[in-house]
Structure 1
Amino acid sequence: VSEHRKMSTASNNVWKEMFLEETLCDAVIRVRDAEFKVHRFVLCNPSAFFRDLFLSEQSSGQQVYSFPDLSRNIMELILEYAYTSSVVVTEDNVVELLAAADRFAVPGILQACCDFLQQTLCPKNCIKTWKLADHYKILDLKEVAYFYILQHFEEVVEFCADFQQLPVEELVELIGKDELNVRKETFVFEAILRWVKFAPEDRRGYMGTLFTHVRLLLIPIDYLVETMCKDNLVRNNLQCVNMVISAMKVLHGSSLEMSLTSTRLPSHVLLAIGGFEDNYPSDKIDMYNVRKDCWKTVYKNPAPFPEFSGCVYLKGNIYCVGGCHADHYLSSVIRFNLATQTWKEVGTMHKARCYVSVVVLNDQIYAMGGCNKYDTFKTAERFNPDTNQWTLIAPMHEHRADAGSATLHGKVYICGGFLMDDALSSCECYNPNTNQWTLITHMETARTAAGVIAYKDQLYVLGGYDGRRHVSEVVTYDPLTKCWCMLDPMIHPRSNFGTVLLEDQVYVVGGFTDDNDQLCAKVERYDGNTKTWQVVRDLDSPRGAVNCCVVERIPHNDLHTGWLCFYFTCNSFCSGTDMLSDYLSD
């Protein structure tokens, strides 16, 4: 393979030199503001358009082919790709280059443009990308962009100028989707108002059509009365008025109207995996639905999950790393595929690690520290899912187990933990570019079994055990100032709990609490904007040493039957409606 690549590269270099020197050229490409002498043979390779064109005119001499509507820059990029098999796609050229790649049937450039558009998707450009993909019939890109719009609908409405230009049919389709990701249903109503008020004379007639897709029974009654009923667009539309009246009747005890009560599917869900339950290792995966504020057991493993393992989510899979079963310490790693609900053992670590710290950075899994029956480790290793291999990286400065870890600004941070019987206050930072660990400012309080998470450009360390008691204190580390600051404490002290970031709020789940290491079912969340803690629905039963992951929802066409149960349960639990049965019977 390498020899073939060398020959191919050498051949490309020769043709490129001949092109630059205009040697043995047999055709001329003329565009709006330039002309290029080219080799027909070279252009035939990447482009079916030029191949058909040249084969239809097999005359001798230099033939001239004119494309007066094409710019010099775009033709240079097409020729660059023909002669070198590479092309530079930028924000400034991608639209015009995509059009040219489609016109001249150059799949390599087309794919490069699609990759660029997908990698640069953001709330400001996602509608434009969706429209572009639809125009050129690029179905995969169209689906990715559409799913992005649904997942980031609030940001799209806020920051995307193209939202105001959507045809009513496309807006109706978007707001009618269960997958539309909004924290509050009131936002859907406000998005409709924003769209209508952009061109009120032309659009107020669509108010009733759009309003039918607002799930009114998910809206607080005081908002219906104080805001919705007083809006002129609602008051002047009889259909809207009647729907609001119907919703108020339902809220006062009448029968439910399913179109008004069906919740939106969250874009991400929280999974609580394993841990200890009734003082025994748990075999459960529970799911939390942020829209309904409730938990449901969605999977039971044939055997209990490893104790004090680390769990991370990566590309549709949950990886369970290390841990122990009683006195048997594990180097094994098992991967749970959410789409098929199947387990598979993948590459084993170099060391068996219990109380291991794990994170994901750049699509690779890091396992750090931990212990076995006799030793506590400072070694660390990295797993590449593509090669199924673990590689040892530079060791940490300190031996530590049961430490909290997170990634921030492309680096791995690890905080606290224990060594022998002592809790640690030291913290370290790993730079994957230099393969070096750096000690950072120590925490004021030593703690093990703390939750650590990156949030709002800072490192949050929550709770833990200081050697005497379970603590509720929360501190943050700013990498710029290298200082720690105290925040408002959690409502409940705890250690060995799950910590995740979901919809821009920090969730802490379960853990150990009180003097007797009592298991905890309490769940609370922290809002960094209001700087307040709020209690949410408890776990169904107390769980300690529970691992938590946030899992993104998978598009419909990527789902297998096993995951359908997992997926539709997300919308149906805590209600009397069996959505999966309804779906399968359609």
Structure 2
Amino acid sequence: MAVTPQKVFSFKDSEHPCYLLGQLNTLRQERILTDVLLCSEHQEIPCHRSVLVSSSPYFRAMFCSNFVESSQARVNLKGISSNVLSGIVHYVYTGCISITMEIVLPLMQAASMLHYGNLFEACSMFLQEQLSPENCLSMIRLSEILHCESLKERAKEMAVRCFSDVATTEDFCELSLPELMCYLEDDRLCAEEEQVFETLLAWIHHDPFSRSGAIHDLFKKVRLRYIHPTYLFQFIANDPLVQSSTLCTEIIDSVRRLMLTASAKCSRELKPLWTTPRRYTCRETLVVVGGRKNNEQTSREALLYDERTHRWEWLAKLPLRLYKAAYVCIHSILYVLGGLSLCLGSGDSSVSATVYTLSLKTNQWRTAEPMLEPRYAHQSVSYLHFIFVLGGIGVDKRISPSVERYNSMFNHWETMAPMPTAALHPAVAASDQRIYVFGGEDAMQNPVRLIQVYHISRNLWSKLETRTVKNVCAPAAVIEEKIYIVGGYTKRMIAYDTKANKFVKCENLRERRMHHSATVIHNKLYVTGGRILNGHDTIEDSDCFECYDPKTDSWTSKGSLPYKLFDHGSLPLVCVSNKPNPP
């Protein structure tokens, strides 16, 4: 005979825990069934042992073990004020408590002593909400006294994120040497390396008698590779404290020799300092500048792409419209070199040698030392502290093979060995002490099927004929030891392996593209704008924004530019950000 299963209705009264606590608190207030008095500063608070035991391991040990308090009717809690104890008992019976700046510290100490972990963390959260650059260092000291890791981590996070403001506080000047060293070597420190150096100087000068000897240890925490050479050799090298240290002067001399030889290889002693990566807060961001906008006129716009919002932000406009200028970034500064400028009023154009610079710190354009030769439709590339300008068209309207180099260490231009074969619109990239010039076209618009290689430290050119190279108006970019040549009147993208001296085919572009721009950020290739040949062989301007990942050999769309654009610059510009990096 089959048994009919009984129906079960599971009921949970969500209001019951609160009701029960409320009733227990009423019993406590009316002193019904209370069996112990917690005493502090002549105040006695009646409680139920069972409630205290259930709420805290401290009271469980006190009342359920062989401690003398287990049989006492009155328990004196030393070191806890009466108002704090009242607040804790109210919390035990209701789960609620009001935390203020007046009681937070004694409350936190009492919560730690009585093993109320959640209450301890609530006090920590309250203090975290009060954090500011002015008090974060004192909060760190407090967190160490209280053994509160959550407060310590949040306070230190603010100290490194707001380093500029924190460094001006009196608490900063009182840091010990190990504490300061810990900050200076932190990858999260939000500061340019010039400021790191100035901060350690200020710390030493606060107590020069006892701190001057620390200069060599602190100096090794400054990431010299990312300091502008002019600042390094004119200001840092001449500082009396630096000059007083043999180790500091030896480091600077090693950097000077490395830069003068234009070599990427450094001595064994310098290598650990020179190869230290940028801090996390020094992030690369994509900047798009100049070019032809919507096929109407040469653009003065400069745009910055925000990875967090996936939006474009407008920077200060170029001082004037420049057709086919060259663009490069070095030392966190954007350079716009030469170009064809329109003479106002006359409608005539002139070839320019002017160099404009933009720093994100000021968001203002300035003029720098002009090039030796006016030119447009030329190429530029940076390497170490140099900017190289190659070819283009000069005032005589002819394609030039000339090369000149800007030395940011001495702030001057110099003429270098010319290219063996003048080429217009080649793909250019620098890697491992060499500049590679791929293809382009000659004065008759015939393809130049050459790889021209310039050895930077020897100032010598060599060239190699190859049928693989047939690019025109294609950019090149370096990822690790490969140079990627992106399109150029074709969908094809190829990578030149500089070590193996061979080409590798990559995933094609989606359209036949030319006059576009490409740059590398975080080992991914970003391609912007250009002109495309559609299926009917008609040329169209493009606002595309795409990303190529060499690890997966695949392209993904990043949306679009705010307008159609070609013959522009697309560059990685390093800026300091106190915002956390996107996931």
TM-score, normalising length from structure 1?
Answer: 0.50
**Which of the two has higher C-alpha Rg?**
2
